[in-house]
Amino acid sequence: MSNEIGLFFINVFAAYGPFNVINALWAQFAEFNNVLPEGDSLNSTVNLVYNIANLLCLFAMPFLHKCRKLNDFILLESMLILAVILLLLLGFLYKVTINNKISIVLLSVSFLSGIVGCFGVTYIFPTLSTSDKQKSAISIGLSLGGVTVNLISSIQQSTSTLLFSIQVFYIIASIIQVITIILVAWSRYLALNNKKHESEPLIEQVNDQAENQTKKQVQKIVSKYYGPMAIFCSSFFYYFATPNLFPYFSKNKSWRQTFNLLVSIFNFLGRLITITPITRYINRLEIIVCILVIFFIFEIIICFVHVHEAITATAISIHMFLAGYMSTIAYYGQVQKEEGDDIEDKIKANKQYQKNVSISNQIACLSASVCAFGFCKLIDYVK
């Protein structure tokens, strides 16, 4: 029992940690837009830099897999420690610029946070997400980080003046990250119930449990290319609008913060609901993609035509709920190989599927960032 609990919480905290930096950065965009030279275009610039780092890191992954000498636990903890350093740098040096034109520290932290996040998505998560409970834990952990930092940011910006400074916000985020590091280590301790396990890499334990789980049940079959295509559409629409277009939805800083909070909460709820039996009945990804396209077009229109913020907030909430739901059932769908019933083949096929989806997701993120960067420049030119 303690072994299962340990593995579950390793996945929750492993998924929470790598994206804590970029989540904390997004949560402060409303303030950064006011004090940094890039202004409203900062959102799209940061996202572009972040996803360029994702792509570069993606190319390095095959090399890391072949040359790996450390086990997954040490690699994960190293990334989480790097995230703490980045949060502190961001909190105390975010105002440093080059010629008062380029926010060099903020963009550098964005680049490095992209490496940390991509490392988690393409290296750690496919390794860990090999059973039902582990997939649910990862999906919950991914969105929980955004909810946490945005709630703290909402408290910070709940009055006309900041309740506490940006530096204090990032100190709090750093403390949460340190707690995450401790909890990952504690969870691993729970997962290792004897000395034999203590000397094994985490992947071996996860695979042992995954094999037993796979023998008991077979997940629904997801096409080899169907899932990656769905993830590409979902991620493209998500990252094009979030948070690139928020400054153009409303000039009111409090509404921008509200949009950020709604994104994190409803994306979390969309992921959370996938642990219920509802996925048996609502799993037509092409229908969800069509709905996402409608909301995406609406969000493009309101960049040019004023719409009441409450309507915009409702559209964002539905969009992000569906994006969280679809990305979870597509990203973590099991793949059953057509030839034979060998358990090892199924586990191998599942890992390969998740790597393919990870690549599709990263390409979508970069494409969305490039398109959004150009689109925001167009809006600035038109207005």
The tens digit of pLDDT for each residue in 276-305 reads: 777 777 767 777 778 888 888 888 888 788
Question: Total domain count for the chain?
Answer: 1
**What does the longest C-alpha to C-alpha distance in the chain come to?**
66
The predicted pLDDT at position 172 comes to: 92
- Among 3-12, 115-124, 340-349, the minimum mean pLDDT is found in 340-349
The predicted pLDDT at position 332 comes to: 58
Q: Is the pLDDT of residue 117 over 80?
A: no
**CB neighbour class for 206 (10 Å; exposed up to 12, middle 13-18, buried from 19):** buried
CA dihedral 72, 24, 316, 249 (to 10 degrees): -140
**Residue keyed to tokens 């992947």:** 203
Please name which of 145, 141, 133 lies closest in space to residue 21, comparing C-alpha atoms: 145
Q: Which residue has the higher pLDDT, 69 or 164?
A: 164
3-state secondary structure of 124: helix
Q: How far is CA 121 from the centre of its chain?
A: 8
State the residue range of the domain holding 310.
2-382
Contacts of residue 355, defined as CB under 8 A and 6 or more positions apart, other chains included, come to 122, 126
Q: Tell me how many degrees the CA angle 377-379-383 measures, rounded to the nearest 5.
A: 120
The predicted pLDDT at position 52 comes to: 82
Report yes or no: 109 and 86 within 8 Å, Cβ to Cβ: yes
* CATH classification at residue 20: 1.20.1250.20
The predicted pLDDT at position 337 comes to: 39
Contacts of residue 199, defined as CB under 8 A and 6 or more positions apart, other chains included, come to none
Q: What percent of the chain has pLDDT over 90?
A: 2
